[in-house]
Amino acid sequence: MKIRLLLLSLAVAFVPVSGLRAQDAKPAAPAVPAEKPETELEQTMGKMGKAWKQVRRAARDGKLTAATADLVATIRTNAEAATKLTPALEAEKPAADQAKFQADYVAQMKKLIEKLSTLEATLKAGDTATATKLVAEVGDLMKSGHKDFRKPEEHK
């Protein structure tokens, strides 16, 4: 009798277990939000930003050389191209203010181009002390330009 009871309890225990099995794991789709395409201005500014990071790093490390002037030339060339483009923030401005906004943007970019030209010439001349100061001035111009003309990023 004890054996029957033992066999019966084992049979009852295996019946529900045999019907259970792990489900196949489905690969989770990456939760990457759909990104909006970059505008031409964003692409141009991205190229500037990549080169600018290298210039800033060289200035911070005290390694500004004539070779750094090539990076500054890349930034200046892209800044000149960006002057011909329109910031996305302009579309959010009232129609009456858009022309002034664009004129202010172009004026700010021209100041930046002028500073970049000076920085490039200073680097080619080998005056690293002045170049280091100019890097800080260019950085300040870029920050103020972003503050005034860049559309704030949307946070999720």
Residue 103 has which token pair?
């004129």
Cα(20)–Cα(10) distance, integer angstroms: 16
Q: How far is 76 from 71, CA to CA, in rounded Å?
A: 9
For the stretch 22-57, pLDDT in tens is 565 555 555 555 567 788 999 999 999 999 999 999
Query: Using an 8 Å Cβ cutoff, are 78 and 126 in contact?
Result: no
Give the torsion sign (CA, 38, 39, 45, 51).
positive
Mean pLDDT of all residues in the chain? Answer: 84
Query: Which residue segments constitute the domains of the chain, with CATH numbers given?
Result: 40-149 (1.20.120.10)
Q: What is the pLDDT of residue 3?
A: 72
pTM: 0.72
